[in-house]
Structure 1
Amino acid sequence: MVIAKEVKGMFKRHLMMLIALLLLFTWGLSGCAGGASKVKIGEVTRSVFYAPQYVALEKGFFKEEGLDVELQTTAGGDKTMTALLSGAIDVALVGAETSIYVYQQGADDPVINFAQLTQTDGTFLVAREEPGEFNWSELKGSEFLGQRKGGMPQMAGEFTLKKNGIDPHADLELIQNIEFANIAAAFSSGTGQYVQLFEPQASIFEREGRGHVVASFGTESGQLPYTVFMTKQSYMKKHKDMIQKFTNAIYKAQVWVGAHTPEETAEVIAPYFKDTDMDILISSVKRYLEQGTYAKTPALQEDAWNNLLDVMDSAGELKQRVEIGSVVNNEFAESAVQASSK
């Protein structure tokens, strides 16, 4: 009798444990079905240059698509690509040239561009001294604080200098050994007569009297798939639905920015620039809008892609020309645009 009771007790305990596990499993499935899909983005820097991304977050466009987006800043293209390849992030917002570097290395799992955010260079030429009427020839013999070798800002910068009759490696002292995140601080402390800066840093330096914006590399270098959302091919194949929803949200943000004033956009993105005054945010957004920096749709254009290849080739960073279809998938961008027009 005692043994029978013990067996009965053990059976009852096991049955209760089994029921509990089944309930937990059911609740887990329910939570996954009803909850948002988690997506980790790594942005190459924090800049007004990426205003539509912050609009997508703040206006709830990602949430509308059922996505829970976590944003982190991984300063520098090399660090951002390392984070993507290692799986530390799911999607990278970085220059399209990084996907070409991975492709040139013969990667088994290439990185695919699927949604363009910016379509011009986002840097400005900032002079330490206030010039009269600026001429590019003034850079000859100067000390120029550039960007990281092989990065899109540096390549577009060199492309622009050559276009204006300046050999960046012979006609001036080109400084390229400073970390991306420290370039503004280096110029502020006295390094260089000229520097290449993104917004809002360029506007901040102007207001504080530490520099003067004299030219736009975005205007000079033409249209480029400058900053693009990309992911590994393997991730894209497993998460096509998520990539589509992500692209839908970005397109909604692009349309929103195109339809609103710099003041309205600056107000929305202000939480991402808590140490930046509103007038600086407004002037930064206005500059980018005026030069057509923000892409109107997520699709990468072939003529802009070919311009990118020309820029890379001029910088000596292109082993061979890479066809746009090798590392670009416009399917999601085209679907996003078509869906919104219905």
Structure 2
Amino acid sequence: MLQLNISATAHAPNYLPQYYADAIGLFAERGLQVNATAKDPWTGVLDDLDSGAADVALGGLWVPAMYWNTPRELTVFAQVNHQFPKALVTRTPRSDFTWSELVGTTVLAPGIGGSAPYAFTAGLIREAGVDPASITFLRDLSSPMFIELFEAGLGDAIVLDLVNAEVLQHRGTGYIAEDYTETGGLGPNSVYYCRTDRFAELSERLVAFTAALQESMQLMKSVDLADLHPLLEQRWPNTPAAPLRKACARMLGSHTWDTARIDPAATARWLRILLDEKMIRQAPSFEALVDTTIVDHIGYPAATPAR
């Protein structure tokens, strides 16, 4: 049986299609054993690619984008998230929230796992015609630390993954004002990439892996949500079940798990946001950053048009 070692930046519910594919034997059916490890700190995924401990990294597209045209050559070949499954949580319910309400406020944006929560939020704010500089962002601390501080009174809003956003709602200490899967449009939030010099060597395994991932996404769209509950609770036993299930339902009802084919227009939008944040020096072309050979070989359905 072929082996594929994946080093991930987290062990996260938004990666559920990969875990589901493994749980129901879709990788094994294709003669593939997938070994996945979550790294702490997350930058260990790059060390694992360098050492050969991992064949593939799973994380944000912004990492290969930042390293584009540098000596570290990385090739992106598929995605597990077609949207950004995050939310803006405020202290009181806001049924008609607008981004302009944040002007003059303080927003907590956890960043110890990367800069994407802040960067994408800033992009949405700019797209709404508001200057992010008019808002004070506190960054670079972990989600648990910022959640504790938010619940103790720091800040006016906090950017969170959907699970933690639902946890705060469940406790009554925060309310989802913006669910990015509903209002944030499309974008390759979490992608798979490898060292460019290993892409050809890994192609057979990448085809098997990506075909199983796509089948998993299709099956999850038709499965009863209750059938996923045992896997959720097995994978995240220390997370309250009700918020975890609600977050999963939000992602299932969105475009988050529609396809592993990365959309060029959605990628261009994300790169524009990264460029606005000065996180990249120039935006590479889609073809320079993403190799569609694997998904083309499988015959993936076209991605949902970007909006």
**TM-score normalised according to structure 1 size:** 0.80
Q: Deviations over 1:263-282 (max 9, x none)?
A: 33333333111123433232
| Shift of residue 75, structure 1, vs aligned partner | 4.6
Q: May I ask how many residue pairs the two structures share in their alignment?
A: 300
Match of 2:132, SS? Answer: coil
* 1:215 is aligned to 2:178: yes
Asked if the contact 2:143/2:160 (under 8 Å) is kept, the reply is no
Unaligned runs of 5+ in 1: 1-35
Measured after TM superposition, the shift of residue 203 of structure 1 is 0.8
Unaligned runs of 5+ in 2: 302-307
Is 1:42 the equivalent of 2:7? yes
Of 197, 202, 226, the residue aligned with 2:189 is: 226
Max Rg structure: 1
**Contact conserved, 1:251 with 1:337, CA < 8 A, in 2?**
no
Residues 96-132 of structure 1: CA deviation (Å, up to 9, x unaligned): 111111213243xx11111111111111001123346
Which deviations, in whole Å up to 9, do the C-alpha atoms of 1:185-224 show, x marking residues without a partner? 4434443221111121111111011211111234443211
Alpha-carbon distance in 2 for matches of 1:266, 1:334: 33
Structure 1 residue aligned with 2:166, among 190, 199, 203? 203
C-alpha distance in 1 between matches for 2:269 and 2:276: 11
1:39 corresponds to which letter in structure 2? L
> Over aligned residues, Cα RMSD in angstroms?
2.4
Structure 1 or 2: more helix by fraction: 1
Contact 1:75 1:180 in 2 (8 A): no
Q: Answer yes or no: is the 8 Å Cα contact 1:84–1:91 preserved in 2.
A: yes
Runs of 4+ in 1 over 4 A off after TM superposition: none
Q: Distance in 1 between matches of 2:69 and 2:149?
A: 33
TM-score by length of 2: 0.88
Structure 2 residue matching 1:200: 3-state secondary structure: helix
1:104 aligns with one of 69, 74, 84: 69
1:145 corresponding residue in structure 2: 108
SS at match of 1:239: helix
Aligned ranges for residues 57-136 of structure 1 at < 5 Å?
A: 57-75=22-40, 78-107=43-72, 110-131=73-94, 133-136=96-99
Matched-pair identity in % = 21
Counterparts in 2 of 1:180 and 1:325: CA distance versus 1, 3 Å: farther
Q: Deviations over 1:239-272 (max 9, x none)?
A: 2211111111111111111222333333333311
Contact map agreement 2:17 2:216 (CA 8 A) in 1 = yes
Look up the SS of the partner of 1:316 in the other structure: coil
